[in-house]
Amino acid sequence: MSAGAVLITGGAKRLGSVMARCFADAGYHVIIHYRRSAAAAAALAANLPDASTVEADLGDPAEARAMVERLGAMHPDWRVLVNNAAIFEPDTTQQDTQAGDSQAIFSPACLARAMTINAASPVVLAQTFLRCAKTRGHAGRRVINVIDQKIANMNPDFFSYTMAKQALHAATRMLAMEHAATSDRIYSLCPGAMLPSHDQRSEEHQISGRMNLLERLVEPEELAAAAVFLAQGTAANGQTLFIDAGQHLLDQPRDVLYLARQSTGRG
């Protein structure tokens, strides 16, 4: 039996592609969203038992809404939306260039990009999905917003990114309240440091990925399994699930990318 359809934004690469494979293994028709990774999306879809691809620029919330409306008309049994796509641009709380890196300072333009792609468009996708997606013989739809363990373990690095993820987390809770009387479920899924990020080297990730309570690397497959679990809707509406080996319970003054770099003498 088919488990219905799932749309995974940013599903062509990195964590999105791992989730796509896990949902496919669970019997879902996987809709792989991409912006610039058409070849990667097509190759992934060709290697899954039941998959398709869709392109949209999440920097334009109107385009995001139109994509969901088209998919809603195409799929009679669309059960899950995973808001995974995000941008991760480096900036800090600083407004000057004392460090000589103009890309590292806070700018309204960086914040606007982060708020649009990491918060506004996921909310528009969720709202449109809950308005127009149909399910066949299944109780309720599921929205899974991929956030970040940073919402509980903040630091000044990746300032705009973190603000946007905090906004999406708040929106998740409010959407869950709005749909409390329905069979729909809206969740937050918070990964820790799972893959090398930004300009991080592999050896630095081997250090930063273990900067958690269990001092072990958290595999992307663990996040994917958690997403499939949440798609079943057995958790209470509005729940936040951390997949980070306890990283969110620590107090880290900087992003682990930079903490690892400092430990190797590069930072």
Q: What is the pLDDT of residues 138-160, one digit of tens each?
A: 779 999 999 999 999 999 999 99
Per-residue model confidence as pLDDT tens digits over 168-198: 999 999 999 999 999 999 999 999 999 998 8
pTM for the model: 0.95
Q: How many domains does the chain have?
A: 1
**Cα torsion through 202, 205, 207, 209, rounded to 10:** -150
239-262 tens-digit pLDDT: 999 999 999 999 999 999 999 998
Q: Are 5 and 20 in contact (CB under 8 A)?
A: no
Supply the pLDDT for residue 98: 56
| Structure-token match 């509005």, residue found | 238
Q: Which residue has the tokens 């690892």?
A: 260
The per-residue pLDDT for 96 is: 61
- Tell me, what's the pLDDT at 197? 86
| Enclosing domain of residue 185 | 5-263
Enumerate residues 6+ apart whose C-beta is below 8 A from 43.
Answer: none
- What's the pLDDT score for residue 101? 53
pLDDT at position 71 is 98
In the sheet that holds 29-34, the strands lie side by side as 51-55, 29-34, 5-8, 78-83, 142-146, 185-191, 240-243
Write out pLDDT tens, residues 65-80.
Answer: 999 999 999 999 999 9
Over 50: is that where the pLDDT of 123 sits?
yes
CATH code (residue 250): 3.40.50.720
